[in-house]
Structure 1
Amino acid sequence: MQRFFLEIAYDGTAYHGWQVQDNAVSVQQRLNEALQKILRNAIETVGAGRTDTGVHAKQLYVHFDVPQDAIPDRNRFLHALNALLPYDIAAHRLLDVDTTAHARFDATERSYAYHIHFNKDPFLIHKSWQIRDMPDITLMNTAAKYLLGKQDFGCFSKSNTQVFTNICTVKHAEWKIDQNGLVFHITADRFLRNMVRAIVGTLLDIGLKGKPATTIREVIQSKDRAKAGTSVPAHGLYLTKVVYPYISTAS
């Protein structure tokens, strides 16, 4: 058997997240269906992580196993796969990897971006979150520095999740201005469920209400979800990059 990594991207608007569910359409379901039609075998994919309903991905890797001669021509395979996939899911790269490689557990770094805009724009529907007032970006970036490093981020996690630890190492957290409004960029070795959306909500509380930047440090130390801000809507969130030690980041 040969293990492959497949790089995909998708608009999550029409899907109930990445992971296969019993009574809802997911990205993984549509991908599995397309792969099975091409390869004529039941295919089980494993993703780098799960995204929630409405969240988008500019880059996500999945792995799957097939007989070694099942995909003789990668370009033809990708062309056929994209022809079968819905318009809002795209396959970009197919890479053969070692049989022990794992799309979820081998990822060393993940990056997300959250988009905010201020003026009504029909072209940003389901792609960015519109808010009314401009927050204090300098204050939010000062607060974001307290996110850096290895810490217990349980205060930003969705409750009742089955994880072995709430410890994550955040490597980068910063707000930037773009042509449509603001974008929050964050990179870590791993993320808890709902973590980014809760962080953005907490930072906006600081930036809009003028709370001290140290507020976020107090929230983290509390380990209490009730102390953090409200989770912002999913449609502004994008998984933008997943890093592996054995995969070049170049397309």
Structure 2
Amino acid sequence: ALVMVRAGRWELDALVDIKHIPETNVLELGSSEFRMGSAVACYRVYEDEQVAAKFPGLVDSASIIGGIQIQSRAGLGGNLCNASPSGDGIGALIVHNTTCVIAGPNGTREVAAEDFCTGPGRSVLEDGEFLVEMKMPMPQKGFGAAYERFTPRNEMDIAVAGVASSVQLDGDTIVSARVALAAVGPTPILSSAGDLLAGKEATAENISAAAQAASADASPISDMRGTAEQRIHLVGVLTRRTLERAVERARENN
């Protein structure tokens, strides 16, 4: 919000800091679900050993959002509410099956992370509403997730393309999978590639087929950071890489 105000794109009567509301600062691993407040800063995610062990996809994204100064204040909740198609944290939230808890004048409601963004810089939040927390099911044994992006520079840059993937293994069989794409559409995309993998062996051939499906789901534009063709190619590469890493982590977690 501060960036938008300083750029002259928003005119506000007041700016409210919600970081002192207890519910927005919760970071709690329960028996069946993980709760993360919307104001939890990125560094709290990757510095918590238990959270980092259970939710590697969140760590992959939280550790590359801006620099350390940004990570000490900004969080995945703000990344989601900013609703940028290239947001690094949104795909990770999607593949971790996140449910967003929203509060407003009419009470609370819940929205799946993949349905939260409605357009570039736009979300399902209505006047008077704000994101309170995000809830994720606790991963079972055999779960793994990963996020990777491509940028011209290594640090503090906007993704040309990004992919988050998660898998649930039973032996060598993929019980379920999720693949989310960043910077290749007007909103982050939950790809059909995950459904394609369900019930199949975690082989290089099946992962390559999923990567092709993810590329087909991308609908990027060409801009100063990259062409549409380059982004489609990158989606395939990043999908393969993140699925391979997710499978590797799932096997380590078995």
- Which TM class, normalised by the smaller chain length? under 0.3
Normalized per residue, the structure richer in helix is 2
Q: TM-score of the superposition, structure 1-length normalised?
A: 0.23
Higher CA-based Rg: 1
Q: TM-score of the superposition, structure 2-length normalised?
A: 0.23
Higher relative contact order (CA 8 A, sep 6+): 1
